[in-house]
A and B are shown apart, each in its own frame.
Chain A
Amino acid sequence: MAWIEIARTGVTSVRLHPWRSIATVLCVVAVLVPYLAGLAICGGLADEAAQSIDAGADLYVTGRQFGRSVPLPLDAADKIAALPGVTSAVPRIVGRLAIGEERHSVVVLGMPPDKLPESASLVDGRWFTADDSNELVVGSALAAGLKVKVDALLPPFYQNRQGERISKVVGIFSHDAPLWQANLMFTSFKTAARLFDQPALATDILVRCRTGSEEELAAAFHRQLHWTGPDGSRLDVRVTSRQELEALWAAAAAHRDGVFQLHWMLALSVAVLAVLVTSAYGTSQRRSEVAVLKAIGWRTDEVLVRSGVEGLLLGLAGAAVSVLIAWVWLRGMNGYGIADLFLPTLGLQPQVRIPCRLLPVPVLIGALLSWIVVTSGSLYATWRTAMTPPAHVLRSSG
């Protein structure tokens, strides 16, 4: 019972020094919020990348020349589809265009529309049709940048030897779709081929195959798929499997963790110093307080419990407030200002829903470290003061 009463004086200590308590919590918040926000964005991005790998093709086949990726002739899809074990081979065009007076960077994606979902719930409007009628589904950031809505007509923004046409926006991706839709211009394969004036090329072939046959098929592609031009030039293939993408993502996660831990350690060291100043060495009043407690009969362990409870409360408050601020910042304000650090091409005010997920482990680690920061700032100083004769402390504190 006596220990509970002593612990309660820790709460009193928080109240007795309101500005010191506020400053300590602010120090913790200043360090924890960017850390939690960054990890939440990375967590959300990891989820969406995993979906991209899972829902994508089993194998991606592109051309290879001079050690770099190049497009493939369109007949590659038929050659690949004819190989045993392949269940489908879909040609795709992924390329970059600039559009509008401000030269918005656009990711053009062309695919045969027969694989599109029947429901167009992802888009405001509808999907494009299979023909080459220049119907486009555009990303939400691109639509905002170009100030276009569904059914808007775009004047020719590309060059083609056969002549240019007006394009029509038939759909706009919803805000909930992943961030990679932001600057996307999704259209039929034929339209994409016209936009780039490349009627006989595909940038990659999406291959689906029987489970377990990926490695065997990749080897077969390398063995059997070659093209030789009339000038003697040779075109080979590059094959990327789902397993390779998963391994790449795992390496990226390790890289990310390293970067974050480095930043966190730097911030943590600054926070310890800041809390040290605000909570202990900065106030002679606090030393006097400990000395008076000792003078009226408190033991050193009781003084430390009081200080420990105070640190626990301030640490808990700092961690909880940090989680709430990070959540409001990411969900309520859509990462205004901070998303640009982690998702560099979205700008200060993202026009898409930023990926984010506050994971429990970083939050728990943040709370623990928050307590360590606050406690290490005050507990040692309290112990040193408590071990000194009270009269000496009171004299030196004036």
Chain B
Amino acid sequence: MRTSKDNLILATVLFAAVAATVVVATEQFGAADPQAAGRRFQSAVGGLGMGPHADLSHCAWQFDPRVTDDDDAGLEALPGIHDYNPWHSMALFPVPSETSRHGLD
């Protein structure tokens, strides 16, 4: 009884581990179609979009640095921070003007 329950636990954990491995392997080797779609799209539009934003409303820089050369969004003052764009919460690009702004302070 004890052994069968232990074996069940062991098998469940190993099954989950194998399933997770298969998922990661699939992600590595089975993602051809979306990438092909992305390449066709970029060829059609001449290269558009690089950042995490899907439009130009809050910060064009986070949509595509080719569209603008600076963070053009409104910044808000926060304690301990000079100025901050709340739409950069998890954004990926460092803000280009940050260095120059701090350099002027």
B48 adjacent to A176 (CB under 8 Å)? no
Chain B residues touching A, range: 35 or more
Q: Least Cβ distance of B16 to chain A in Å?
A: 4
B52 adjacent to A45 (CB under 8 Å)? yes
- Cα of A48 to Cα of B54 in the assembled complex, Å: 13
- Cα of A50 to Cα of B48 in the assembled complex, Å: 11
B52 adjacent to A107 (CB under 8 Å)? no
Please indicate the chain A residues that have their CB under 8 angstroms from the CB of B20 in the complex: 319-320, 323-324, 363
Cβ-based interface call for B2 (8 A): yes
- Cα of A342 to Cα of B87 in the assembled complex, Å: 10
Cβ-based interface call for B23 (8 A): yes
A249 adjacent to B50 (CB under 8 Å)? yes
- Cα of A48 to Cα of B19 in the assembled complex, Å: 26
- Cα of A286 to Cα of B2 in the assembled complex, Å: 19
Please indicate the chain B residues that have their CB under 8 angstroms from the CB of A95 in the complex: 56
Contact partner, A48, options B9, B38, B40, B44, Cβ 8 Å: B38
**Chain B 22-55, CB within 8 Å of chain A: the 1/0 string?**
0110011001011101111111111111111111
Please indicate the chain B residues that have their CB under 8 angstroms from the CB of A92 in the complex: 46
- List 24 interface pairs A-B (beta carbons < 8 Å), by A numbering: A15-B6, A48-B38, A48-B49, A49-B49, A52-B42, A52-B49, A94-B48, A95-B56, A96-B57, A107-B55, A117-B44, A176-B37, A177-B37, A177-B41, A179-B49, A180-B48, A249-B50, A253-B92, A255-B92, A320-B19, A323-B24, A324-B20, A344-B52, A358-B24
**Interface pairs A-B: 8 shortest CB-CB:** A56-B47, A180-B49, A55-B42, A105-B57, A320-B16, A323-B20, A182-B54, A320-B20
Q: A interface vs B, CB < 8 Å?
A: 8, 11-12, 14-15, 38, 40, 42, 45, 47-49, 51-57, 60, 68-69, 90, 92, 94-96, 105-107, 109, 111, 115-117, 119, 121-122, 141, 173-174, 176-184, 186, 203-204, 206, 238, 240, 245, 248-249, 251-253, 255-256, 259, 313, 316-317, 319-321, 323-324, 327, 341-346, 352-353, 357-360, 363
